């Protein structure tokens, strides 16, 4: 009898644990505690994009680079402290990740309507959605309820964010390790339909690789000198046709061998993802739908919930 009671309690505990872990985030998390969060975020993002269209891509990228390092916990936003070295100066982010001042503005706007309620990690997720939608892409219901990390890891950022030198197998492996499929990888790479990249990131491709359109290479070389250290921070659009419109031209460019980064062109280079790229290049709706599914899935990576982490007052420093 005692044994069956114990088993019943154990089963109930396991069921509760499963329910808790599967229901961590929800689309109505702030419906009563901060119903104005969405309007506060959107108006600030809209204003920032009106000022500089590129910032939409930068805000979307912050959400990616946050989630890929120990989960979607706002750790990327932390400045260095005496007890840890943050992620802002990790190789994938140094002189590259941007939009932190806009996040500060969003946080201020949100704090004005409901102080101490909304996490910086959730602000990144909402701002990413709004950026995509404002630039002509899809919208979606963002799952919320993340809490903020109290620490950050430069080493994890260096190891976990795929560099632009990655080959297809490395990209697939990294995404799979985070629970993202190969199709998710291609759909999320479609984020490169907006934004810019620095010469230092694409120089090896335009001077050393052969699987690229020659006129495209010539165009890119015009503002990216061969010599290392010269023009390293000169910018070029990741999608040369519509760099501030969220569309499927990125995939059309790959088919024409006009991917800017080595890792971009790897998605269409005689490998297993060629067919997905063709599908997305032919159907914006399919790309859009898959992108939404993938970014929602990405937003579920190891969030801090419940009593874990904190709700930061200032996104740049722990409370």
Residue owning tokens 């995509």: 132
How far apart are alpha carbons 7 and 2 in whole angstroms?
9
In the chain, beta strands by DSSP E: 196-198, 235-237
DSSP reduced 3-state for 32: coil
Tokens of 146: 């993340």
Tokens of 246: 């969220």
How far apart are alpha carbons 194 and 54 in whole angstroms?
8
How far apart are alpha carbons 74 and 122 in whole angstroms?
8
Q: Are 98 and 58 in contact (CB under 8 A)?
A: yes
Residues classed as catalytic: 65
DSSP reduced 3-state for 260: coil
How far apart are alpha carbons 88 and 233 in whole angstroms?
17
**Apex CA 185: angle with CA 181 and CA 191, to 5°?**
145
């Amino acid at each position: 009898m005692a044994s069956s009671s114990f088993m019943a309690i154990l089963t109930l505990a396991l069921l509760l644990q499963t329910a808790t872990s599967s229901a961590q985030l929800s689309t109505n998390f702030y419906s009563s505690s901060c119903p104005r969060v969405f309007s506060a975020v959107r108006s600030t993002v809209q204003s920032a994009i009106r000022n500089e269209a590129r910032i939409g891509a930068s805000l979307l990228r912050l959400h990616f680079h946050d989630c890929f390092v120990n989960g979607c916990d706002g750790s990327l936003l932390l400045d260095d402290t005496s007890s840890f070295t943050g992620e802002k100066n990790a190789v994938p982010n140094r002189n590259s990740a941007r939009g932190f001042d806009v996040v500060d503005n969003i946080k201020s706007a949100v704090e004005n309507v409901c102080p101490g309620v909304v996490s910086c990690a959730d602000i990144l997720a909402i701002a990413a959605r709004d950026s995509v939608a404002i630039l002509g892409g899809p919208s979606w219901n963002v799952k919320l309820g993340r809490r903020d990390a109290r620490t950050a890891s430069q080493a994890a950022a260096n190891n976990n964010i795929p560099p632009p030198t990655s080959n297809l197998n490395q990209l697939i492996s990294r995404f799979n390790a985070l629970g993202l499929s190969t199709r998710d990888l291609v759909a999320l790479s479609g984020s490169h339909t907006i934004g810019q990249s620095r010469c230092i990131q694409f120089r090896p491709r335009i001077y050393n690789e052969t699987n690229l359109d020659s006129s495209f290479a010539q165009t890119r070389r015009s503002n990216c000198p061969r010599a290392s250290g010269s023009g390293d921070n000169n910018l070029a659009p990741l999608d040369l046709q519509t760099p501030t419109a969220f569309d499927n031209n990125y995939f059309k460019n790959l088919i024409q061998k006009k991917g800017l980064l080595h890792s971009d062109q790897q998605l269409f280079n005689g490998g297993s993802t060629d067919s997905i790229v063709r599908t997305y290049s032919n159907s914006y709706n399919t790309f859009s739908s898959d992108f939404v599914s993938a970014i929602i899935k990405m937003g579920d990576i190891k969030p801090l919930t419940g009593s874990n982490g904190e709700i930061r007052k200032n996104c740049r420093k722990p409370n």
